[in-house]
Structure 1
Amino acid sequence: MIVVYGIKEKLNPIKVRLSDVIHGCMQDVLGLPEDKRAQRFMPLDQENFYYPDGRSDAYTVIEINMMQGRKKETQKALIKSLFGEIERQLDISPVDIEITIHEQPPHCWGFRGITGDEAKLNYKVEV
């Protein structure tokens, strides 16, 4: 599950393209299938989105929630891929992107009426 936050006037016009960029990186780096897109976009009014000095109003926060199991190198590769592809395809500077990865054990995930440790996934978590 991915949650993306940004100022609505900047985020809304690009969210379809940003969704494609994020999912493409998830496929390339993590091996996720095409049909495994779980994203939520949270466009905010500017008065509800505080961000650090030195950033523009294109500042975007991407929170990635995933099951534990990916290697540190894989997670770093995902972050670097996102920075590069977002800059290349959407012209948003890496200084305006914040990415966090939150991992939880598979038994802490619930979907399709079962927990993650019971699921038969069509992709690998240990990459």
Structure 2
Amino acid sequence: MHQALMDSIGFPADDRFQILTSHDGTTGTLRHGTYLDIPRDDGIVYIDITMRAGRTADQKKDLYERVCALAHERADVAPHNVFIVIHENTPADWSFGHGQAQYLP
């Protein structure tokens, strides 16, 4: 995931704020089905990205393609099972510690 973020939209190498959660049917479940004629099965990988606004639609499309390619290459995830959603916010929405808004002047 991080490699795709660096390759496609320029995330810094040390920007590794990632949460990985398993939905294996025991610790949690992830509902899926067919939507937009894309079938999904129990091999689904749901990726939820929160980042600052400002990337272009083309950068996001590149990100989706890169994530899918790397997931298939490195983890044998079927491309139809890669589901990605992006949430964007502003620099004021981030604090990385010390009660400060590091992205604000």
Q: TM-score range by the shorter chain?
A: 0.7 to 0.9
> Are 1:108 and 1:116, in contact at CA under 8 Å, matched by a contact in 2?
no
Residue 4 of structure 2 aligns with which residue? 25
The RMSD of aligned alpha carbons is 1.8
User: 8 Å contact 2:23–2:30 — kept in the other structure?
Assistant: yes
For these two proteins, the number of residue pairs brought into alignment is 98
The TM-score with structure 1 as length reference comes to 0.68
- Cα distance in 2 for partners of 1:23, 1:104 equals 19
Residue 20 of structure 2 corresponds to 41
Change (3 A) 1:118 1:76: same
Question: More strand by proportion, 1 or 2?
Answer: 1
Give the superposition deviation at 1:101. 0.8
- Which one has the bigger helix percentage? 1
In percent, how many aligned pairs have the same letter?
Answer: 28
- Give the Å deviation of 1:45: 4.2
Moved more, 24-33 or 95-104: 24-33
Query: Which consecutive segments of 4 or more residues in structure 1 shift more than 4 A?
Result: none
- Tell me: higher relative CO, structure 1 or 2? Use CA pairs within 8 A at least 6 residues apart: 1
Say whether residues 1:69 and 2:50 are aligned partners: no
Compared CA separation, residues 116 and 70, structure 1 to 2 (3 A): farther
Q: Which runs of 5+ in 2 are unaligned?
A: none
Number of the residue aligned with 1:7: none
TM-score by length of 2: 0.80
Counterpart for residue 114 of structure 1: 100
